[in-house]
Every structure is written in C-alpha cells, then in structure tokens.
Amino acid sequence: MLTKDYKFLEVEKKWQNEWINGKYEKIFKFDNTDTKSKIYVIDTPPPFTSGKLHMGHVLNFIWIDIIARYKRMKGFNVLCPQGWDTQGLPTELKVEQKYKIKKEEREKFRNLCIEWTKEFIANMKSQMTMIGYVPDWSKEYKTMDPDYWKAVQYSLIKFFEKGMIYKAKHPVHFCPSCGTAIAKAEIEYTTRETTLNYIKFFLDEKNFIVIATTRPELIQECVAVFVNPNDERYKNLIGKFVNVPLTERKVKIIADEDVDMNFGTGVVMVCSFGDEHDVKWIYKYNLDIIKGIDESGRLTEACGIYKGMKVEEARKRIIEDLKNKNFIIKQEKIMQNVGIHERCKKPIEFILTDQWFIKVIDFKEKILKESENIKWIPDYMKKRYVDWVKNMDWDWVISRQRVFGTPLPFYYCENCKKIIPAEISELPIDPALNEKRCPYCNNLLTPARDVCDCWVDSSITPLIISKWMEDEEYFKKTYPSSLRPQGHEIIRTWAFYTIFRCLILTEKIPFQKSLVNGMVFGPDGRKMSKSLGNVVEPNEIVEKYGADAIRQWACTFVPGSDTALIMKDIDYGKRFLTKLWNAARFIEMCLNNETPENLDFENLTVIDKWILAKCDEMIEKTDEALENFNFNIMKELQDFVWHDVCDNYIEIVKYRIYENIKKKEAQFTLYILLKNLTKLLAPFIPHITEEIYQNFKFESRSVHSKGNFPEPIGIDKIYLNAATVINVIEEIRKFKGNNKIKLSEEISNVKIYVKKDIEKSFINECIEDIKKSVKVKNVEILEGEFKVECER
C-alpha cells in the first residue's frame, strides 16, 4: 500500500541503500561477463576533492545519472565509474594553513594531504548519493592512489620514448604567491586600473625618446627598445642605442611590425620577461636575458639596490626615483587587462625557470584532424575547442614546484645532459626518494623533484577506466568511451589534454561524444560566491525538496547554457511528485489489490485507447530526446501526467469504476498506463518511480533493471484524434466555471459542432463519457466548425 503522503526523504534513502549496498546493487555494476549486450562507457568527470559539491556538480551528475539509467534500461551494459581528482594546489594551501607545515617536509606534508582528502571524499560521496547518483562504485579511482600514479608515470615514460618530453630553462607563467609554474589554461584575466608612466630614455646628453609603461619596475631587466618600422616618428632612430634609466646599460632600438604604434608613444621596452610579446621578441632577436624577478616574486641581484623588494614595493620605489631624477614626463590612469592565477587570484609573472614540458605545438594538425569526428553537444562547443587548439602557441609546462602531485618519473644527468626515465618495474616512484646512477657515466643522477600539473593526472581517465595496459580484452571493449560529460569552462584543459594525450598513446580519440553542461548561477542570476551571499548548498535543497524534485530542475537546462537556480522550478518538481503519487494512489484504490486480467486492447474504449496512444507517443518522444540529450523532454512528461492523465483520463473514468461500467477495461488501462509511466519516468525521477513500481509488483525486479525501458504498445495513432473529446469536456468545465455552476451539478444540454468525420465518430462513441464525467443531460452533435454550446 502506498502511504497517504509521499515521504520523500525516507523513500529516497531506502532506495539509495538498495541500489548501492542492497539487493539491487548488481544492476549498477558493469558486467564484464556479459558478451551479448552493447557496451556504453561514460567517462565521468572526477571532481576536485574540495570537500563539497556545488550546484554545477549536481547538475552534471544528475545528467550523467539520467543517461546511465536510460542506457541501461535500453539494454546496454553500462560502465559508469567515478573517480576523484585529488592532488593539487588548493589542498596544499589549506593543509599548509591548518598544520603550519612547509612543503619542504615532503613526506609528512603529502600524508597530511592524503588524510585530509579522504575525509573530503566521504562527504562528497554522500552528496552524490543524496541526489540519486549511482555510479559503479566498485570502479572508483583516486588520482593520489599508487595505481593511478603508476599509470600516469607510465604514460609519461611513453611520451618520453616518443621524444615528446623535454626539460628547459624557459620563461613560464609563474604564480609567486603559490610558488609554482602554472599552465596558460590556469590564467584568468581581469581588468584593473593602473598607471601608465611616460619615461624618458636618453639617446645622448640632450635628446630622448619617451616610453609609456605600466610596469616601470621591469626597467631593470629592459634588454631592448622596439618601434614599428612604419612609424615615421622613429624611422631615423632604428639601430641606435638608448640609456636605460636608473641603470648603466645601453640597449638597442629595434624595429618590428608587431609593435602597436597607437599604444602609448609607439615605443616599447622589452624586458625579460614582462609578457608573451617580450618572450617572442627576445627569442626572435636573440636578446640577452636578465632574470629580474625570482620565484618568490622579489627582485633579484640583477636589479641592484632594488634587490629583495616585492614587485609592488619595487614599483613604488622606482617611480619615486624616476621622478626625483626627472625621468617621468607624465602619468595617466588607464584600465588594463592583467593575468591572475585562477586558484588564488594573485597576479602572475613570467619567470625564467627550469621546467619540464610536453611537446604539443608540433601535434596541433594531427590533433585537429583526428578529433574532427568527436560529436559535441551542443554543436557550437566544437568551435571553442578548435579555436583553442589553433591558437595554442606554447608547449605544455607539466611540472609544478609542489608536493601533493604525481612525481615526474625522471632523472637528469648533469654530466651527459640527458633525461633518464625511471624503470617501468619501479613504478610508482618518487625519484626524490630514490637515488639512482647514470647508465652511461655512472654519475649520481639529479632526481626530478617536481610533481605533475593535475591535468596530467586527469587527462588519462578514459585509459584508467578502460584498464589500458592492464587488461587488453577489457580495454578493447571499453575504449574509446561513448560519452564524456563535462563543463564548458574546462574544454581548453580537461577536454583538450585528454584528447591529446590519449590520441598520442593509443592512436585513437578517447571519446565519441562530449556532452557539455553550463554553469549554475545564483537565484540573483550572478555567479555564486561567498562574498555575494548567493550560494545555494545542495544539501539544503535536497532536504527541503528531495532529490527527485532537484532532478526535474536539472532537466530544465539546455546543454551548454548557463542558467540561474530558480527555486520555484524546484518547487514545481516537488508538486509534480505529489500529483504523480496521488494518481498512483487512486489507481491502487481502483485496482483494489488485484492485478487486472489481461485484456485484448481491441476491447478498450476510445478514451482508453486515446490515453494509451498518447503514452506510446511519449515513449517514442522520450526515447528520441534522451538519445539526443534533450533533458527538457521532462517538461512534456510533466504536462502529460498532470493534464492528460490526472486532469482528464482519471476524471473521465471515475464513473466507470464507481458505477461498474466497462470497469475491467478502465482498470486494465490504468494498470498498463501506470506501469509504462513509471518506467518512462524512472531515469528522471528514480526514487518515486521505484517506490510505485515495487508497490504494484509490476514485475519482480527493480524498475531500473537492464532492458526495462518501455516499448510502445502499438495502439493505432488514429486514436490521438480522440483529443477532441477532451476538448469538449474542457469546454463544458470552462462553461460551468464561468457561470459558477458546480461541477457536480447537471446541465441540460450541450451542442457540439464538429467537422471531421473521425472526430465526429469518436465523440459519438464517447457520449456516455461526456455525460457522466461532466454531468450533462443531453448531448447533440452537429455539423460545423468546432464549437461547444452549453445550456444550463
């Protein structure tokens, strides 16, 4: 028996237990022994273990769960594993803060990070369960696990063998605040007000040119001055030398077409290194490199009396000194785009350091060509991906000067100037803890003390879940993945790096389709943030509305688009559950604890056939929609249940149940309808549908069982035309409402004008339904444009 009220929290918890640890756990596990079913593999995103899920995660995992359940019900053997992206800076920063420990205590630090992360995973896992997300937990992975390290290190050694790994002194984007190199993809841009300083650079005692710069502190590392060769103002100065203020140095004036004549005075100072232009020019013209800023963001020895000052402080001092010596002509305020580190929001610098790289630039063409066939949902995400690849002009800096990460499995021989990889049999390895000698000269090797960028870890997930290099049979079956769901903000990182690395390692693209979800903004339409006070925590809304309500909300999103979190949408979902529950209870009452006998569909009434034909139509539509990731088909399903089933069909058949007129047919129709509906709705609202399905014992298994997606019964579509009967009934109801007549009060006469023969004959067959369900004494059917005239 269904309870009077739907107690969502109780019911949801009960089924989550049965699915994850109880009698139905097998359904959600990939069956490696199944040789018949087609396989569907979802390369689920491993969230960074921050401790809690945000609403964007909730949206993403609900979609994944809907697809996994749908595919399973369609008969696929579904592999839906779940992992965790555990290593990285944010955890280190928190651990540093909490335990007052420095990264130099390598092992102790790492262990504290691991402990911290384990706790966080437990919490996030319980949140995933709360929203009804049931991946195959037996396939769980964590990027900090020894096996995961092993796979990452193995993959890097393969890259080394292909000649794609190198170590170089190279200017890299560096975050002095975090003390590590970062990838271009980790840079965020923000506009801020800054001062443009117009500074004199003397050619001789009297003559000077003026350079406008926002970063006068870099003057100490100025190695050349650039002008545009077409700039009439400076044509005669090309090749001459100028004095760099506050230094003893002279630098050359060089002409290059890339100089923007319209910025400042049209003269730029090139410093090692201020921005990407500087890097390009310094290499192009083979200029000197002066390392002016070190890894802690302080000025170096090369900067003379400014040595040891932080960048901001040095800027103030240098401006002061320039002013005192009369070098500054004027200053003006401008707005400027500056790069900041996305994790800590502090300005980044270009710093010359020793780093490890993977060659990417040489492979752009190959990547673009091979990934041509990946289908992006929505389509326009493909352009974002292609543009990113095309515009890439740097190899990938994979080393990070941190501790909580996968160690680079390499050594370096200072004598032979060679990279020596670790042995495959030694993996996983931390070279910093394992002394080794050079196989060529027997010198003691220098271990790589750096760890990998965390995208190096997460960009091989399709290989991890398919047991690459571990189980060949399994790999053949499960690689490439069928689907990669992910957010649009990580196309240039996670999507790109995965395609690149897996392609190089396997010569095949890693996934066939990528489903891209947008961001969830706060109820005020702005990005959720603590400072705006508009953060909505998933737990709060699950407790208030239940998982099945939130899952319906997730279906209102269109792939790729950002949307605000609207509470009334979630509330509507909750009210829909109540409606469905009440309909199920009514049907339960009609059936009176019995399973109706199997009738021939031919014997059903027109109205019975109409609702079943509509249900068939919804099955076909939903199937097609889910195949194409159109989750908002849920809106049509809600309307179907709410209006066609509850407001109309159930209201129309009530009299047949109470007065025993064609009662068996009504019972049978209600039974079939509810059975198909619970199956159809199961991927979207899995808890309530399981509860109803089990209550009616439609079949002795879970509604989510493999192959359980409903098939259309095959009712003739012609019965959809019986919708005209529903229109008639609605018109009569409207008349009663407008004239303040109770629905239970009988009216004397109704004239129905109708043109199409098929509609006429359906109305004719349903006269009894009309008379009884909306209480009419006499019904006349007349020829004409559709119209219903009621008389009191």
DSSP 403: S
* Cβ neighbours, 10 Å, residue 720: 15
| Contacts with Zn ion, 446-465, as mask; x by CB under 5 A | --------------------
What lies within 8 Å, CB to CB, of 18 at 6+ separation is: 24, 25, 702
Helices of type H across 512-596: 538-545, 547-554, 567-591
| Contacts with Zn ion, 255-274, as mask; x by CB under 5 A | --------------------
Among 32, 123, 177, 582, indicate the residue that binds Zn ion (CB under 5 A).
177
Helices of type H across 561-650: 567-591, 606-627, 633-639
| Contacts with Zn ion, 367-406, as mask; x by CB under 5 A | ----------------------------------------
d(Cα 594, Cα 668) in Å, to the nearest integer?
A: 11
415 near Zn ion, judged by CB under 5 A: yes
Give the total of residues touching Zn ion (CB under 5 A).
Answer: 12
283 near Zn ion, judged by CB under 5 A: no
Sign of the torsion formed by the C-alpha atoms of 11, 16, 22 and 23 = positive
Nearer to Zn ion, 89 or 130 (CB): 89
d(Cα 764, Cα 780) in Å, to the nearest integer?
A: 9
Q: Is 301 helix (H, G, I), strand (E, B) or coil?
A: helix
Element (H, E) at 679: helix 663-681
Nearer to Zn ion, 181 or 270 (CB): 181
Least separation in angstroms between CB 177 and Zn ion: 4
Least separation in angstroms between CB 447 and Zn ion: 14
Count helices and strands (H / E) in the chain. Answer: 24, 28
Among 187, 203, 261, 344, indicate the residue that binds Zn ion (CB under 5 A).
344
Sign of the torsion formed by the C-alpha atoms of 328, 332, 335 and 340 = positive
Stretch that binds Zn ion, among 52-60, 170-178, 253-261, 545-553 (CB under 5 A): 170-178
Among 296, 434, 443, 561, indicate the residue that binds Zn ion (CB under 5 A).
443
Stretch that binds Zn ion, among 124-132, 431-439, 707-715, 771-779 (CB under 5 A): 431-439
Least separation in angstroms between CB 348 and Zn ion: 7
Nearer to Zn ion, 51 or 90 (CB): 90
Helices of type H across 74-162: 89-99, 106-130, 146-161
341 near Zn ion, judged by CB under 5 A: yes
HSE-CB of 618 using CA atoms within 13 angstroms: 25
Exposed, middle or buried, 628 (CB in 10 Å: 0-12/13-18/19+)?
exposed
Residue given tokens 């095959």 in the structure block: 714
Among 38, 440, 603, 791, indicate the residue that binds Zn ion (CB under 5 A).
440
Among 58, 175, 279, 515, indicate the residue that binds Zn ion (CB under 5 A).
175
550 near Zn ion, judged by CB under 5 A: no
Please check whether residue 698 is in contact with residue 587, taking contact to mean a CB–CB distance below 8 angstroms. Answer: no
Residue given tokens 């509604």 in the structure block: 703
438 near Zn ion, judged by CB under 5 A: yes
Residue given tokens 């994979």 in the structure block: 398
Enumerate residues 681-740 that contact Zn ion by CB under 5 A.
none
Least separation in angstroms between CB 341 and Zn ion: 3
Stretch that binds Zn ion, among 167-175, 208-216, 588-596, 643-651 (CB under 5 A): 167-175
Least separation in angstroms between CB 445 and Zn ion: 7
Nearer to Zn ion, 89 or 131 (CB): 89
273 upstream amide cis, omega within 30 of 0: yes
603 near Zn ion, judged by CB under 5 A: no
Least separation in angstroms between CB 339 and Zn ion: 11
Please check whether residue 548 is in contact with residue 75, taking contact to mean a CB–CB distance below 8 angstroms. Answer: no
Q: Is 213 helix (H, G, I), strand (E, B) or coil?
A: strand
Least separation in angstroms between CB 89 and Zn ion: 7
| Contacts with Zn ion, 75-114, as mask; x by CB under 5 A | ----------------------------------------
Question: By the criterion CB under 5 A, which residues form the site for Zn ion?
Answer: 175, 177-178, 341, 344, 413, 415-416, 438, 440-441, 443
